[in-house]
Amino acid sequence: MTRNVRSLRMYGQGADLQLLDWPWVEERLVTAPLYWVVAASDGWPHSRPVWGVWHDSSLFVSVGSPELRRAIAKDGRVTVHLESATQVVVVEGWAVSSADESAAVQAYDVKYEYSYDVSFYGPLACIEPRQVLAWTTAGVAGRDGFRMGSAWSFDSRPE
């Protein structure tokens, strides 16, 4: 999967910000304690905090909510954001079938010191990124403005 970086657009126009490096984003994706997931929906979608793991350029998340699982199965478009409002990472992508999620489950178990039971909870949802947006702000609650930002697009899309 090829990752292409570009400057971030803020408020409908190009932002004159220093670009963030991908390793900064990937570190946050790997170490995030929770991922806030929202799926495209006919109803009123809302984000839900879930456990997950960034593995092999995809995000694997546990989706316990039957409503969220149905929404993902119906449309597949998903947005995920991390907890910080001043060191922001947003993943927009598609839930796709994973040929082999065993390595992701193993990484999940190590991260959370847990034993995820696929037969009980169902498979982890695999989110393949379409776009990742990231930016940093300064000051209390970002009051002093944006500092750095980048957007990455990914060349793959599910069939």
pTM: predicted TM-score of the whole model, two decimal places? 0.89
In a domain, 159, yes or no: no
- The number of folded domains in the chain is 1
pLDDT score at 71: 86
Reading the block at residue 118, the tokens are 């696929």
Instruction: Give which of 139, 134, 108 is closest to 121, Cα–Cα.
Output: 108
Return the CATH number at 139: 2.30.110.10
Element (H, E) at 31: helix 22-31
* Chain CA centroid to CA 114, Å: 21
- Split at pLDDT 50, 70, 90, the class of 159 is very low
pLDDT at 2 exceeding the cut of 60: yes
Per residue in 139-155, pLDDT (tens digit) is 787 778 778 889 999 98
Per residue in 74-103, pLDDT (tens digit) is 889 999 999 998 999 999 999 988 777 899
Domain span holding position 37: 3-154
